[in-house]
Amino acid sequence: MALRITGLGEEIASITGLPWHKSLEEWPEDPLLAEKRGISRHVVRLVRASEDFDSEVYAVKETVAEFANREYRTLRELAQLGAPSVEPVAVIEGRHNEKGEELPCALATRFLPYSLPYRILLSGKDVTAQDMTMMANALALLLVRLHLLGFWWGDCSLSNTLFRRDAEAFAAYLVDAETGEFQKHLSDGQREHDLEIAHFNVAAELEDLKLSGVLFAEMDPVRASDAVIKRYRRLWSALKEKQVLDPNDRHAVERAMRALHDLGFAIEEVSVSVDGETKQLVFQPKIVAAGYHQNRLRELMGLETEEFQAKRLLASFDRFRGREKTPHPPLHQSARRWLEETYKPIVALIPEHLQGRIEEAQFFHETLEHRWYLSEKAGHDVGLTFSAKAYIQDVLPYRRDSGIDGMMGQ
């Protein structure tokens, strides 16, 4: 059987030159890439498309052909639905070594920039309980988003997830979809099964870290795993269950909608009814979609960010628009002015040798945080430009914000 690569046309050209005639265990691996690789039951390698340092990076996994093709199709469907997951690139079959011996099938996915596995994130010296809480929240939100799409994961775990900074929180992405499948209707029983698997896996993974002396002593693995499940249930209840509101409150429905927006969800269909006997106002979300702030920012500015980064940037824009003379200009005109007068000049301050240490939207968010800190210390507003320059000088050189791009200039 000849070598056969099936995948996205634009990407295939980038991976055809990789040494498919060698087992992945024999592939040379850049140490800087190796440290970004998490634990897997399969042999996995991170590899650049070419020798150029800034070339595209792919994750390649050896597995059985049936599983590789199934996972490739599943990841494509997840991507088309906008789920937070890695992007599939190709399935490589018909591999043989130079002796003619058959090699395992391989699945190639695009490496997620600025992302890190949980072991690296939780192994730092300054890790706190808040960091673990943010990771638990991110994993719970990921599972909620997948379930809303009718996707049963079957192996939800920290190992099968990558995390990226998202303002003061984390964003979680599915990495391994080998056991997952879409359902016409995801039942409560199937959701509970996924939660049981997640609870066991997360507790076991954190216990392993604790036994190895990596996890900070105060962390209780079981309680941390409980936090994932509790957060999931709170989110699911807010998005799917009825809310009884005060019928005399004119703004009750508006606040209920805004509360879901704050969670990052747009309400595409909702049912509002008043009980004839009790006069209770019942608010029932029907169809919800993730990425409320991301979509709004994309429409206004054309910026691609994580959800809470988008929320923070929109807050900055709202303050900017509030300072404009009345009557305010059209919204999109104000958005262009904010981009040209506020966002882009601040991001442009990053010197070339420090570019790639941190995502631009994350840099802007942390500059706003730094401004608050410096202003409190000085007793007056020090300004955004001053804060950005101070951040670049005092903080940015020490950031290694996850992902291949974060290693540029080192």
What pLDDT shows up at residue 56?
84
Put residue 409 in one of left, alpha, beta given phi > 0 → left and psi -120 to 50 → alpha.
left
- Written as one letter, the residue type at 376 is E
pLDDT of 406 higher than 50: no
Q: Cβ(249)–Cβ(258) under 8 Å?
A: no
Is the Cα dihedral 255, 257, 260, 262 positive or negative? Answer: negative
pLDDT band at 52 (very low <50, low <70, confident <90, very high): confident
The string of pLDDT tens digits covering residues 317-374 is 999 999 988 888 899 999 999 999 999 999 999 999 888 888 999 999 999 999 999 9
The string of pLDDT tens digits covering residues 231-276 is 999 999 999 988 898 888 888 899 999 999 999 999 889 999 987 7
pLDDT band at 127 (very low <50, low <70, confident <90, very high): confident
Q: Is 405 helix (H, G, I), strand (E, B) or coil?
A: helix
pLDDT band at 38 (very low <50, low <70, confident <90, very high): low
Burial class (CB in 10 A: 0-12, 13-18, 19+), 205: buried
Q: Which of 9-18, 50-59, 157-166 has the highest mean pLDDT?
A: 157-166
* Cα Dmax for the chain: 81
Domains parsed from the chain with CATH numbers: 4-111 (3.30.200), 116-238 (1.10.510.10), 243-290 (no CATH), 308-407 (no CATH)
Q: Give residue 120's Cα distance to chain centre.
A: 16
Q: Cβ(271)–Cβ(286) under 8 Å?
A: yes
What pLDDT shows up at residue 238?
92
Q: Residue 43: CB partners within 8 Å, gap ≥ 6?
A: 23, 24, 25, 61, 62, 104
Place of tokens 């305010």: 328
What pLDDT shows up at residue 403?
45
